[in-house]
Amino acid sequence: MLDRSLVGAITLVGATTFAAALVLSSVAVRAFDDAKHIDDAKRDAEYPDIGGTWVRPGAAQWDPSKPAGLRQQAPLTPEYQAVFESNLAITASGGQEYNPQVNCLPAGMPRVMIAYDPLEFIVTPDVTYIRSDHLAQFRRIYTDGRPWPERIAPSFVGYSIGRWVDADRDGRYGALEVETRSLKGPRALDASGLPLHADNQTVVKERIYLDQANRNLLHDQITTIDHAYTRPWTVTRSYNRDPNPVWVENNCGADNHYVSIGKETYFISADGTLMPTKKNQPVPGLKNFDRLQQ
């Protein structure tokens, strides 16, 4: 049996230790909060206020300053000008086989920056993330000073390295400059079928910055360097800040009513049968069904 005084001493030590632990943990929490506050304040002081949700104000053609189609005056090579005109003719007939999105493939870079659904920017010191609910696309722009890796697995959004720049040396970054490489296809620049070269050697350079007069307006100056074009093609896309975003899941595979079979795209009706999308569209080949039924 323990002596009462010993029990009392043990209790006192225990209580003291517990109290000390409480004090230490509250100090630790406060230190963490202070550090986070300092980090947040430092980030707010250094980086432009581009975090949050950005909405495309209007047109979805690649160069929003010009009408869609041939009036984009895309500097295509003769070979890819012919591809583009063929895509426009397919469009006029009701088809869009050139458009990977019809089968739920992501737009990829640089088309994701059209922002069919709002874009969400998340800025951290080492990485800036750009989320698009449209076709579940997610960009990581590394700003931690890393070099280009020797091997990069190609992807639709590619691998992006960015650099914050403070051109006017006022102690606050004014723009994020980004280069994106290692893309894979199929991709197009917009829904009209502006093509990208099949070699997928596209390099995209961007300059992302807030408008000087309107801090709720974001610009992305996008230069596409691609073998389908005779020269780098620069367009500027802009986005309005949405302070009260409404997020709704957009899962393309949930109920996509289009299916591409061979070179044709068909519409799947509610009863599960195919409908033609063009006049005089050929019936899909059924020879393998015919053989089995003989």
Find the shortest distance in angstroms from Cβ 78 to other proteins: 14
Concatenate the DSSP letters of all residues of 196-260 into one string. --TT---EEEEEEEE-SS-TTEEEEEEEEE-TTBSS-EEEEEEEEEESS-------GGGS--EEE
Nearer to other proteins, 139 or 181 (CB): 139
Find the shortest distance in angstroms from Cβ 56 to other proteins: 7
Find the shortest distance in angstroms from Cβ 228 to other proteins: 18
Nearer to other proteins, 201 or 281 (CB): 281
Nearer to other proteins, 176 or 235 (CB): 235
Nearer to other proteins, 56 or 139 (CB): 56
Find the shortest distance in angstroms from Cβ 133 to other proteins: 7
The 10 Å CB-count burial string (b at 16+, else e) for 74-110 is bebeeebbebbeebbebbeeebbbbbbbbeeebbbbb
SS3 content of the chain, % helix, strand, coil (to 5): 30, 25, 45
- Please give the residue ranges that form the binding site for other proteins (CB under 8 A): 56, 58-61, 67-71, 85, 88-96, 99, 101-102, 104, 114, 116-117, 133-135, 190-192, 246-252, 254-258, 265, 267, 269-271, 275-279, 281
Find the shortest distance in angstroms from Cβ 210 to other proteins: 23
How long is the chain? 294
Nearer to other proteins, 31 or 275 (CB): 275
- Strand 264-268: give its sheet, edge to edge: 258-261, 264-268, 274-275
